[in-house]
A and B are shown apart, each in its own frame.
Chain A
Amino acid sequence: MSSYTDPCAHCEEMMQPYLDHVLTEAERVEAESHLDECEYCRRRYRFEESLRVYVRKATDEQMRPELRQKLSALRIPLD
Chain B
Amino acid sequence: MGEADTAEPDGARRVASEARDRVRFEEEALALADQVYRVARRFVSTREEAEDLVQDTYARAFRSWQSYTPGTNLRAWLLRILTNLNVDRGRRIQRRPDETPLEENDYYLANKIVQSGGEQVLDQDRVVERLSQDDIVSALAEVPHDFRDAIVLVDIGDFSYADAAQILDIPVGTVMSRLHRGRRILKGALAETALEEAGT
Tell me the A residues contacting B by CB distance below 8 Å: 12-13, 15-16, 20, 22, 40, 43-44, 46-48, 50-52, 54-64, 67-68, 70-72, 74-76, 78-79
Contact = CB atoms under 8 A, between A and B. Distances in A.
Contacts of B183: 16
Contacts of B22: 76
Contact of B123 (A43, A59, A61): A43
Contact of B131 (A54, A71, A72, A76): A54
B38 A52 contact: no
Contact of A12 (B15, B105, B154, B180): B105
Given A22-B161, A44-B122, A68-B33, A59 B137 contact: yes
> Interface majority SS on B: helix, strand, loop or mixed?
helix
B110 A15 contact: no
Which 9 A-B pairs give the minimum distances between C-beta atoms? A58-B136, A63-B37, A58-B133, A47-B122, A43-B122, A44-B110, A47-B110, A71-B58, A75-B26
A54 B127 contact: yes
A41 B186 CA distance: 20
Contacts of B37: 61, 63, 67
B174 to A, nearest CB: 15
Nearest to A76: B62
A13 B107 CA distance: 10
B42 A59 contact: yes
Interface stretch (B2-10, B47-55, B83-91): B47-55
14 contacts: A12-B106, A43-B110, A44-B110, A47-B113, A47-B122, A51-B127, A51-B187, A54-B136, A55-B186, A59-B140, A59-B156, A60-B38, A71-B54, A72-B30
B59 interface: yes
B128 to A, nearest CB: 6
Contact of B127 (A50, A67, A76): A50
Contact of A63 (B33, B42, B63): B33
